[in-house]
Amino acid sequence: MPEHEVKTRKLILWFSEVGIGDISIVGGKNSSLGEMYSNLSRKGIRVPNGFAITAEAYFYLLAHAGIQDKIKELLEDLDTSDIHNLQARGAQVRQLILEAPFPADLEKAIKYNYKKLEKQYGEKVDVAVRSSGTAEDLAEASFAGQQDTFLNIRGTRALIKACRQCFASMFTDRAISYREDQKFDHLSVGLSVTVQKMVRSDKGASGVMFSIDTESGNKDVVLINASYGLGEIVVQGAASPDEFYIHKPTLKLGYPSIVSKSLGTKRLKMLYAGRSKRTKTVPVPEKDRKKFCITDQEALTLARWAMVIEDHYSHLAGHRRPMDIEWAKDGISGEIFIVQARPETVISRRNEQVLEEYVLEKEGELLVTGYAVGTKIGSGRASIIRDSKYISQFQKGDVLVTHMTDPDWEPIMKIASAIVTDEGGRTSHAAIVSRELGIPAIVGAAGATRVIPPEKSITVCCSQGDIGKVYAGKLPFKVKQTSLEKISRPKKTQIKMIFGTPELAFKVAQIPNDGVGLAREEFIINSYIKIHPLALVNYPNVSNNGAKRKIDKLTFGYDDKKKYYVDKLSYGIATIAAAFYPREVIVRLVDFRSNEYAELIGGKQFEPDERNPMIGWRGASRYIDPTYRPAFDLECQALKRVRDEMGLTNVKVMIPFCRTIEEGKHVIKIMAENGLKRGVNGLEFYVMCEIPSNVVLADKFAEIFDGFSIGSNDLTQLTLGLDRDSGRLAHLGNENNLAVKRLIADVIKVAKKHKRKIGICGQGPSDFPDFAEFLVKHGIDSISLNPDVILETGMRLAKLEKKQT
């Protein structure tokens, strides 16, 4: 072994083509490297080949130059609340390190190892030089992007310069500020550098993934963000990326369980540049923007790797440790590589026994929307800053509004009441840092810097779902905290949810519940699909040119328009099913009335004009009608895909408005023809009990269905002869009416006799305590409620059960 390699054996570590980024080498903690690489290599995970310069080398550089005391002196009068003071002190320390004499033996060792890479890949091989501080990603303290990374570095001269710059980046303004906040000694914290063969993702794609849902904290999903070009574009938030959610439990069972994916705008990508500038940012062609930048199979591969990496680090930590991982796809070889990994330390450390809910009490003028980060609300003066050199203008408590952020913005991000960016996705720098700081942020809010009036008060609301909203003015809101440790729940009666909003599923599923008793498809169709299914089936014959143009825009990239419907519907259902897995999710087939169907794009051409659509062509009668059958087949295909292809067998099916036994049998037959056979792979069919005939013939319905779900709204109106859309008649009755209660008591009795499950969907049990008591007394199996009343009603029912025992 050459002499300089022996001298620097603690300063340089070579790693093989398999393994994972730089997390285990920071601070010279190298004992687990061999075990880690051998473990991960057996799983087929790739990392770019290269070597690591350990934290000992950083300390060696400082000691060799004798500059520790000078650094300490420069930081003595540091005031991180004074941006100018922070910037001046940081610049001086960085310059001191940049000008420090570089140890000759360390330089020689770095060049020697780079030459080894050149022998493998050719002269002046391109490398990525990445830094990682020992205080950057601890399990109990994390702040991403404190130190610098340099891409497309070629030649030994450029490499030594990049390594020197990485060492100097230990004292970036944001890193100094962070260490002060955490009370870390600046000179006790180390920094390591990895030198990796560049992955040619400039010709492919790259991104970030988390082995946890970054918003709700659900640990059973992998979130992947992907965009064209080098990965910095995603991390910086300069492009709104494609997004994939993969369900880990069913992926482990061998199912290709992508439960959701959405197309990002991907307006820009970062490429290699010429000699004077290592990288450049260019627009993405329109045709590429409108397609996903990685395949489903590649997303599934990444998700499997994320699980392996999480398992590895969880084993080392002795407890579950979700991970934040950067990846890159080489556009030349087509291979995917893991380039960095670190623990996720924000959402995974949240107290799961406390539910915190922010509620906006009043809405104002809506200015702009984007991706919500977190679930909080913040307000303040809009401070629009387009360049980091003007951050000194920012005042504490302002809302930061900018195009995108990078680590240079962090000193003011921590004093902002909220953050809004034009660009970026849920794994962008602005999103990650806002989570770490615990402040609301909206990213990918196109046009925010143009639309939001400067210096005016605004409210940033992330509490209303997946879409964050910026309102004009300072609006009132409240914060409600609930300790789940003090929540009592009924033991005999299951408390399920009425639910149908996929983007809220992972958050809402955290409320103690026994599953979903009524999963509505209508919201998915209205919000995600927007097109009448028969307009997609009969696309060439759509007569309205305006409708056809809208269909073309929504279904871009789909040669088969029917597949658009199946994809969107299956992803919506799958997201809800994954969030509540393995708890039962009873999906009600679409129960739009004809007037509601007509409002969908292209719908008027395919819908009759009914005088009373409430009791018209809806439910089972629609599904079995030859005119509608092709559309119903699409719905069946979506359900089959969720159960059979994604493995979400917790999905059960409920048939609404089934007037006769013959209708029920016919629907079951059609579903079987579409591969949905009752009893196969645990598939159960329920019937909505919402028509008096369902009660009168309950024994007959029990012969063909596995259970009943009482739809108290329709059962009330049809029992009392009411039009529930008529405000004039609302005072005449509700489900607490004696006639309705007798019917409910009868059907519960029949269900029990035939050993069929029976539940109820509706607000009656929460609105009328005596009605809830009536249901529990008669032995209802489950009560399904809207999420906002689950806890309160559950505690009330628990008391009722105790009273009755």
Q: Which residues are catalytic?
A: 429, 761
Nearest to 211 by CA among 427, 438, 509, 528: 427
Q: Six-digit token pair at 777?
A: 């007394």
Nearest to 586 by CA among 663, 683, 494, 678: 683
3-class SS at 5? helix
Angle at alpha carbon of residue 632, lines to 712 and 538, rounded to 5°:
135
**φ, ψ at 799 (rounded to 5°):** -65, -40
- Strands, DSSP E only, in 665-764? 685-689, 707-711, 757-761
The owner of tokens 């008060």 is 457
* 194, 21 Cβ separation under 8 angstroms: yes
Q: Six-digit token pair at 235?
A: 């991390």
DSSP for 675-693, please give it. Answer: T--TTGGG--EEEEE-SHH
Indicate the burial class of 161 (C-beta count within 10 angstroms; 0-12, 13-18, 19 or more). middle
**φ, ψ at 546 (rounded to 5°):** -65, -45
Indicate the burial class of 601 (C-beta count within 10 angstroms; 0-12, 13-18, 19 or more). buried
Indicate the burial class of 454 (C-beta count within 10 angstroms; 0-12, 13-18, 19 or more). exposed
CA distance linking residue 294 with residue 303, whole number of Å: 13
Runs of H (alpha helix) within 277-400: 286-289, 296-317
Q: Provide the 8-state DSSP code for 527.
A: I
CA distance linking residue 579 with residue 607, whole number of Å: 34
CA distance linking residue 145 with residue 179, whole number of Å: 13
3-class SS at 293? coil
Starting at the edge strand that comes first in sequence, how are the strands of the sheet with 258-262 ordered?
Answer: 258-262, 242-247, 221-228, 205-210, 323-329, 336-343
Torsion sign, CA atoms 594, 599, 600, 603: positive
* 413, 388 Cβ separation under 8 angstroms: no
> Is the bond leading into 48 cis (omega within 30 degrees of zero)?
no
What is the b/e burial string over 759-790, where b = at least 16 CB atoms within 10 angstroms of the residue's CB? bbbbbbbbeeeebbbbbbebebbbbbbbbebb
User: CA dist 278 to 159, 272, 386, 388, Å?
Assistant: 13, 6, 24, 21
CA distance linking residue 650 with residue 577, whole number of Å: 7
